[in-house]
Structure 1
């Protein structure tokens, strides 16, 4: 909707190319201002940042004035490329309003205008000092006196009324614009103000925050307007009791730890409660509170893609499609599978997926399910990091099952937590079935004053649902295979959890050979194609979920991907030895609600070396040490009902082992020191491509195409069906990739254009996924 005052005289000036709709300069500026007003309403607390919104309003009004240049207008109408930067030319109009700002605020105003597309080093390189023929002279000659006069009239007649119509008059002061002359020297002056401020940020740490917020908010508003987002969704403002009334089944009560979570207000908190006792609901109650101060955004972080996908489905049922986003490395595949479930036409589903991805990039969902590594991008100063950090301001973060992260990754996460708490007023809810003191101490350091909420003794007693049995030998032994088959034939749903993909494949084959049919076996791990992975996740949801209407007998054979936030409820568990936190999560997938009495769970004593998954160490004698220490602790409780209230004491004894404590502490400290260096170097207006390499090294996956799918993959690429093409990809570790390449088992895919994709010459089938000849494998990280 247009404002009452409109600059009809400049409706011939475009902001977008004809092929992209030909939006006028005035219309685009109005839309950016509308989105800025939405962002202000989303985070009114930022008004305390000394005139931040005042600077942003006037910066947005002026930010695209440079698009009036003749060369830029010709380009928008299909003419030749234009070698200049329009945002630099916009600085020619700063003098019209500069008197409405202090000297410090003028730096903010200029920085917001000139940085909304390009980093400072690129601007400096394009318009360097000291050239005989200053390129700014040519740039300023691109706006004639008549055009400059029309822009000045627009500024004088519309800028002040528009701020009132947008509801920004209380934070953006009125300014009476003064006449200006387009002058290269004045543009150079304002450019130098900008460059000098960016240089000062190297040692002026206090000034970095407003710089981050300025650039982050103006680019977010600009990108939303360019994407034709008509409104920034408001935060979820429901009260926790109202949500509880919707979520809690009739006849059930809200648990005390859930009630306390909803009542603690704006404080960060740690929650320890048994798996299946409503931790997710407790976290949502905490985030919403009494509804009077809803968080600007809610981020729900999980470690595995399967658990992220499942949580996305769960939250969509609670809050609706428009409120919840999904963001991880393969979110497009997960979303496409869900949209196609509704029999949506494939091209329409693909367009919807792209729109969802855009909305996530534009920070336009009030509740987002994502990987912590998506959050960590901001620390690595990747392009657009200021917009990411601005989106984290006054947000509520939920970290589920913090136990799942190795000490190095935990150090990265806690470093991010501390930075966001101190600089962006973010708050955190961290939950797990267990909180060993060694982890709790680090969380307390990161989060400051934190409430600790624990389920009440009667809840822990109610969730005494498993009896521990340690078994000699291995999970793959013939007697165990026969026992699992008998369990399934007796109508049971059995979780068989192995530490490596190779063992999962071995177990699946042995169970099939022992007589279980394909309909009685579900396998899930990281080495399926993304398309098959989504199909398997759906099958697990339909057949093993707590609320599943039909529960056919089966064996679910899985790696660590089942440990976190999958709302499945099987009857018993057979597991490889693993760290206690992982085992407790595996147990929690059986008898989840405690409605089946006491169910047996079985852990095998061999192999006790961690299998290359847990407790890596250069000293072979110490590799897998955490598994051996865990088994020693479990011996004390063999045959007993597991008291989840006591498992924290088990963990504290495990981590008190001198070797393990030293391993854990040294790994955490090394990464924590690196995180401190990363944060100390975080400056606005300068993304860092070298740090992008550092970020990519955090991930151990390389996508390959099994040779049986090469033709189908290439055909999808040729047809530009990119999401469908990606369904044929499998992720393998970089180490495995290097080995296979050295053995000649990898070659580039044919006819993939610009895509560099490798075909792997290994067997693949929809039952077991991609198969290797040996069993050394890295963990199932997302």
Structure 2
């Protein structure tokens, strides 16, 4: 068997036997991760025998020649592997035979592609030529290997309790038998199209598990990191020594393994509560822990925090620019190539679904609902997992409808559980979450915790954030040794404030600006600088003005002395306030909200009707007027929110938007079918994102040189994301052009000024679609 290869020399020259063993090892790891996933079926039995046979077709003459540098091979090896199903078919019921065949033939290509490659009814069946690719001596080798090794390997891998022993029959490789098993597969896929719901789950699990095992083996993943087995008490003693658990943290641990909602003030240990919930008493270890956040800055910060808690090997990071964030952490002290390789490997481990704890955005999860390629493996990884959703307020109603629909589907079909937490839960949102999570209990911080976190005094100010008197006041406060957070609703406005503060005498040592329009390299550098200067545990604390957009609102563990902010919805304002006096150790700190502009620069509640656009900001300002000059009672915040969302116009806007998307989600879920990814839905998914990457003109030469040197990760550090709307405006103005020829990459150059302090500038402060 040593002369029969599974991989070319380019990918290690691995033999078929060695690769198959490695796939079975990874499959056994997946079994131990979720031993009860089968729900009483013969899932693992079918998967084991499918994995043993899945690459038998690679022994074909043409495929072996291709691996050794020969011509391309026009056939599918996984289809040829079906030629050996007859040898073991007696060990399966008819339903299990469908499962076995589907797992084998689907591990690389979707069903429509297989059907197109081997259509029935042709005068000359291409399966005849395919079968002739197996030489008699090779068939004998494969038969002997199957007969002598399959059952002993099952025992070696500890699978004898879930995988039945089968004595293989002699093989007869014939095109008609191959056609029979291929037709069994096609018939089952057609049947699943008309039987939605639970009937489709076995197909999803079969394909998801066998492709995961195969990809892990092909990537030469030595071993899968084990799940976190700590109890919440063990984690508390190890990771948070000396901290007395709050009541809401203990209650979160006790409600595990049920889903739950948590309402608690920002800074009161919600992250710890969520981790305690995920682990519980340690007897029901979750297969995976997913920690979801809305912004890349908060994801990067949480990744660092959880690595410190669980160790590097346990935690992964997954978002659109995760490779850049990882490279920023790994390249220091190493040659660029070593840092790049490590960053790419860490990124690949997330794609392989190997890390037991993962920090990611909900949009990474939603890829599965949109039936993108590989969605079965994604859904399988979500099975029996614990999901933490931090600051659910950050999502607009349409996005929230998508998220709650996904929650409901994963809870009902894949036994997933959810912990949703926020400082603010208006009843409107709580009702929808309750419906999605099966009336999950609501845990609330105790009255004494809310009282302890009375730490902010609200001051409404006339005029705008950018008024000269305000700029001078902020500069004076910084010169007095304080740390000030300045929050603007748009990038252009944040850039204007930074320039105004610089003109007021603050130096670069006293000014930090963060928003979405920096290059990815500068963005990672700035995030780390902010944590180093403003982190809640940093001492001494240098005087500073941190000017930011919404990117600071969620889960950044920073602690400043006061805030000056544009008007915004109450949920956003409270998150901004949460970056000030985070632990309540500074007494009562002032927070300043400006009354103008009342539309919030059109960022919130966008609507074609100007009377409705920004309506939520105006309603929020009306509510804040009732509490002006008061110390904010966070226990009463939900009452404030309920009054805001009771506004007829706002309630109608929110409900209509949520309902429209919820109806679409039902259609999406009902159309979710295994063995078929959907390119049209891939387009629908991409339309959810409003970003186009461009290169500032000053970096074009550097970018092209790095691409030529194949230093792709470093090259991507020069990219900036702008909105599609802004891209179209700039292109019409002649301020966007294609970059120099860089192979297959289509990259655009922005003919606009850029500097590392302000980012990419558009040169105007009018309506700015790039608002974060």
Pick from 634, 642, 645 the counterpart of residue 655 of structure 1.
Answer: 645
> In 1, distance between residues paired with 2:743 and 2:175?
44
Instruction: Provide the rounded CA distance (Å) in 2 between the counterparts of 1:246 and 1:638.
Output: 43
Task: Determine the structure 1 residue equivalent to 2:446.
Answer: 456
Q: CA deviation at 1:451?
A: 1.7
TM-superposed CA distance for 1:675, in Å, is 0.7
Question: Secondary structure of the equivalent of 2:412?
Answer: helix
Q: In the alignment, which residue of structure 2 is the partner of 1:40?
A: 31
What are the within-5 Å matches in structure 2 for residues 261-410 of structure 1?
Answer: 261-341=252-332, 343-410=333-400
Which of 228, 238, 262 is residue 236 of structure 1 equivalent to? Answer: 228
Corresponding residue for 1:94?
A: 85
Residue pairs, 1:581-592, within 5 angstroms: 581-592=571-582
Contact kept? 1:49, 1:210, Cα under 8 Å: no
Structure 2: runs of 5+ lacking an equivalent: none
The residue that corresponds to 1:7 in the other structure is: none
User: What is the aligned partner in structure 1 of residue 602 from structure 2?
Assistant: 612
Q: CA deviation at 1:779?
A: 5.4
2:141 is the alignment partner of 1:150: yes
Corresponding residue SS for 1:751: coil
Q: What CA distance in whole angstroms lies between the structure 2 residues aligned with 1:778 and 1:644?
A: 32
- Structure 1 position 261, deviation (Å): 0.7
1:85 to 76, 90, 105: 76
Does residue 750 of structure 1 match 2:759? no
Q: Give the 5 Å matches for 1:340-739.
A: 340-341=331-332, 343-739=333-729
Structure 1 residues 709 and 779: CA distance shift in structure 2, 3 A: closer
Q: 1:740 to 1:49 in 2, by over 3 A?
A: farther
1:5 matched residue in structure 2: none
Contact 2:603–2:771 (CA under 8 A) maintained in structure 1? no
Root-mean-square deviation (Å): 0.9
Q: Does the alignment pair 1:207 with 2:169? A: no
Aligned mate of 2:46, from 55, 77, 97: 55
Deviation, 1:777, is 2.0
Cα offsets for 1:106-158 (capped at 9, x unmatched): 00000000000000000001001111111000000011222111111111111
Q: Larger deviation: 771-780 or 622-631? A: 771-780
Q: Which residue does the alignment assign to 1:194?
A: 185
**CA deviation vs aligned residue, 1:82-121 (integer Å, no higher than 9, x gap):** 1100000000000011111110110000000000000000
Which whole-Å CA distance do the structure 1 matches of 2:573 and 2:490 have between them? 14
**Which of 106, 110, 114 matches 2:101?**
110
The equivalent of 1:122 in structure 2 is 113
Distance in 1, matches of 2:503 and 2:72, equals 66
8 Å CA contact 2:723, 2:770 repeated in 1: no
Q: What is the CA-CA distance between 1:253 and the residue it aligns to?
A: 1.0
> Cα 1:525–1:281, aligned 2, differ >3 Å: closer, same or farther?
same
Alignment coverage as a number of residue pairs: 770
Distance 1:156 1:248 in 2: 54
SS at match of 2:692: strand
2:265 paired with 1:247: no
Output one character per residue of 1:518-543: Cα deviation in whole Å (capped at 9) or x when no partner: 11000000000011101110110100
Segments of structure 1 that go 5 or more residues without pairing to the other structure are 1-9
Contact 2:327-2:713 at 8 Å conserved across structures: yes
Partner of 2:163: 172
Separation in 1, partners of 2:695, 2:602: 25
Task: Tell me what 2:251 maps to.
Answer: 260
Counterpart of 1:219?
Answer: 211
Structure 2 CA distance for aligned equivalents of residues 42 and 456 of structure 1: 36
Deviations 1:565-606 (A, max 9, x none): 000000001000000000000001000000000000000000
C-alpha deviations, 1:612-667, integer Å up to 9, x for none? 21011121111100000000000000000000000000000000000000000000
Residue 181 of structure 1, aligned match among 169, 172, 185? 172
* Greater displacement, 185-194 / 40-49: 40-49
Residues in 1 aligned to 2:771 and 2:23: alpha-carbon distance in whole angstroms: 42
In structure 1, C-alpha distance between the alignment counterparts of 2:101 and 2:764, rounded to whole Å: 60
Cα distance between partner residues in 2 of 1:751 and 1:185: 51
For structure 1, which segment, 542-551 or 360-369, has the greater mean C-alpha deviation from structure 2 after superposition? 542-551
Scaled by the length of structure 1, what TM-score is found? 0.98
- Decide which moves more: 763-772 or 385-394: 763-772
What is the rounded CA distance, in whole Å, between the counterparts of 1:133 and 1:360 in structure 2?
44
| Alignment TM-score, normalising by the size of structure 2 | 0.99
Aligned match of 1:778: 769
Q: Secondary structure at the match of 1:756?
A: coil
Partners of 2:59 and 2:134 within 8 A in 1: yes
Shift of 1:77: 1.1
Q: CA deviation at 1:780?
A: 4.9
1:243 Cα offset (Å): 0.7
For the 8 Å contact 2:331–2:340, the answer to whether it is kept is no
8 A Cα contact 1:215 1:685, kept in partner: yes
How many Å separate the matches in 2 of 1:249 and 1:572? 29
Looking at structure 1, the residues matched to 504 and 230 of structure 2 have their Cα atoms a distance apart, in angstroms, of 53
SS at match of 2:547: strand
